[in-house]
Amino acid sequence: MRAISNSATAVGAAALLVSCSTIAVTGDPAVPVYAVAETVPVGTANEDAADDPAIWRNAANPAESLVVATDKKGGLYVYDLTGEVKHFLARPALNNVDLADMDDKGVIVFASDRSDLSNAKIALFRLDTASEELIELATLPSGIGEAYGICGYEKDGRLIVYTAPKEGNIGEWQITLSSELSIRSLRQMRVPSQPEGCAIDARSGILYIGEEAGGVWRFPAGMSDGELVAEVDNRKLVADLEGLALVPNGDTGGWLYASSQGDNTYTRYALPDMTPAGRFRIAAGAFGSTEETDGIEAMRGDFGPNFPGGLFIAQDGQNGANAQNFKFVPLGAIERALSTDVSALPAAN
């Protein structure tokens, strides 16, 4: 594991790993899993448009849960678990998205707004879970740079959001949800080169950031310095490293999933030590395979008969003759596939 100081400004040598090479790289073997549903393609055809999903679980009726996802050229979609569009809100230049259930304040959706490439912003919405529609609330400034990655959570009634602009300056923000929304900077961090993937462990406040050419960085709660805990090594992770998704279990356990975009696979790490715990790919089946995945999301729990053990969502960057979309895979099927993956076992001494 390699540490980085918040004052570091040099671009890591890992950034050269892909930028100086056009040779295709294939990582370690990956077991196949299959999508059981997919979304309607986004409205922006023949472009890199679909990007990042977020999941709202309907505890009262899990099969009626919803997915919010970005068409970064067009706006925000709300999908049901069959992939049908429930609502579309036209709002170009939204890249990544996440959401938090704020109890009486509702389900708050927040997205990275890159409409101004020099000044990042956070676009805020409320997801009306009864009408299955998004309501725009406000757009708040979040520092200099081009907005890119985003994640967040509810903490003691507060909305805490993390931003990861392309320039590598990671921000932690507290957003006050009242008659007038406001934003306050809590902490600044940094990774050596362009980040995007972002996942927060709500149990501990540990933040995970994916540096596309470098690997996964871990920042303890309240700390400005982080450490590289999973490198882009062309075996477990093949650049670009894109989306991150955290699935907690117990007090400190669970999994962190990462999109190894360079070889169209996904890598799983066991928490809290970030031990490699298998690789998989979404293979061609009834709903097709996934390639060049950007954003991912995962959540354990009952999501109805098609997803009894949880839900894994991946953006599909090459959706045949159609525009890009998102594929839905039962999380339980992934966990079962990886439990028999001999490549995930530790090497013998």
Q: Which domains does the chain carry?
A: 25-343 (2.120.10.30)
pLDDT tier at 21, thresholds 50, 70, 90: very low
For residue 273, how many other CB atoms are within 10 A of its CB?
A: 9
DSSP 14: G
Give residue 16's pLDDT: 39
CB 171 within 8 A of CB 150: no
Give residue 342's pLDDT: 46
Give residue 180's pLDDT: 87
Looking at every residue in the chain, the average pLDDT score rounds to 92
Q: Is the pLDDT of residue 344 over 70?
A: no
pLDDT tens-digit readout, 272-312? 999 999 999 999 999 999 999 999 999 999 999 999 999 99
Q: What is the DSSP string of 156-173?
A: TTEEEEEEE-TTSEEEEE
Pairing, β 226-231 against β 215-219: antiparallel
On whether the pTM is more than 0.95, the answer is no
Q: In whole angstroms, give the CA distance from residue 174 to residue 108.
A: 13
